[in-house]
Copies of this chain bind each other. A is one copy, B any other.
Amino acid sequence: MLPIMEISGSLNMVGYGLATIGPGIGVAMVFAAVINGTARQPEARGALLSTAWIGFAVVEALAIIGIALAFAIQ
């Protein structure tokens, strides 16, 4: 009797899922820091947001690269 395994899908999708854990939490930490800073000094919101965009870009890039790699790696 042979084993019956009807598994479909791609390990690349598992890799993308793992690649979003860090950026998902990380980008949220950046914006949560902006929100906490704005609650403490409302007039500093512009300066905080301009820094947050830098952090957002470099952290979110890791997940976006994961999308590209999920299609590129075979």
Residues of A in contact (CB 8 Å), total: 65
Q: Which residues of chain A from 22 to 67 have any CB-CB distance to chain B below 8 Å in the complex?
A: 22-42, 44-45, 47-49, 51-52, 54-56, 58-60, 62-63, 65-67
Option from B9, B20, B38, B55 in Cβ contact (under 8 Å) with A14: B9
Could you list 17 further interchain pairs (A-B, Cβ under 8 angstroms) beyond the known A28-B29, A38-B47?
A: A1-B4, A2-B3, A3-B4, A7-B11, A17-B66, A21-B22, A24-B63, A26-B26, A26-B27, A26-B28, A26-B29, A30-B35, A32-B32, A38-B48, A39-B41, A49-B51, A69-B70
Chain A interface (Cβ within 8 Å of chain B)?
1-42, 44-45, 47-49, 51-52, 54-56, 58-60, 62-63, 65-67, 69-71, 73-74
